[in-house]
A and B are shown apart, each in its own frame.
Chain A
């Protein structure tokens, strides 16, 4: 307090410290939110199923993804990142996860939607293990905050099956 500069510095430092405290409180307040998400993924069609020249299987699917993630949004939510992954087991690997589609939900108004699409990313196996394979489709979401902790969770949908033969 002995000069203008001293007081200005003290004020700015204190103001920023308080801002940090407010942001941590805002992040902590997210824990009071109890989300109730719903999601469903349907495989509408297996478009084609081939073995590539390098020996890897590839399949193209048409999916219908319908979600309601509006309960995940709080005042401290910047956006929700959502993606669908196919999960299956092979002799070489206990768990294979292949991301098929993702999207960004920018606000609560956009959080309840359905989308009819082919897989955005290629569903390729490391090997040729996909014939007749049972797989799960898991919908993951990452709730990205404006400040603080990010929450991530998922819903597993099982019971999907690939054809026995290439087509």
Chain B
């Protein structure tokens, strides 16, 4: 999943669970059946898990733009000298 997808997934998960809980409690209270409340909520949890946990494609619609490998080769990583890097390390600590 990309960053946007993760945000959407978390939001969906929270909303879906709360909605199912409210519906389950309302229905259970109205028809005086504790079992029905638990049944509705349990199926809601499973459905929410199915929708938000796996890495579905619709969570990957803003994929990260990694640097192209051929572009990376044209800009080699800076190589610091070993003496300078040792001094820097001790200063930072």
Chain A interface residues (CB < 8 Å from chain B) = 1-2, 4, 7-8, 10-11, 14-15, 18-19, 21-22, 25-26, 29, 74-76, 146
A26-B37, A75-B29, A76-B34 known; 5 other A-B pairs, CB under 8 Å?
A1-B10, A2-B6, A7-B13, A10-B10, A22-B21
Chain B interface residues (CB < 8 Å from chain A) = 1, 6-7, 9-10, 13-14, 17-18, 21, 24-25, 28-29, 32-34, 37, 41, 45, 48-49, 52-55
Residue with the highest number of chain B CB atoms closer than 10 Å, among A4, A22, A26, A76: A22
Residues from chain B with Cβ under 8 Å of A76 in the complex: 34
Does A14 lie within 8 Å of B25, measured CB to CB? no
Does B54 lie within 8 Å of A18, measured CB to CB? no
Does B14 lie within 8 Å of A1, measured CB to CB? no
**Main DSSP-derived SS at the B contact region:** helix
Residues from chain A with Cβ under 8 Å of B55 in the complex: 4
**Main DSSP-derived SS at the A contact region:** helix
Does A1 lie within 8 Å of B17, measured CB to CB? no
Pick the contact of A11: B32, B34, B41, B48 (CB < 8 A). B48
CA distance A10 to B18 in the complex (A): 14
Residues from chain A with Cβ under 8 Å of B7 in the complex: 1
Pick the contact of A1: B1, B18, B37, B45 (CB < 8 A). B1
Does A26 lie within 8 Å of B34, measured CB to CB? yes
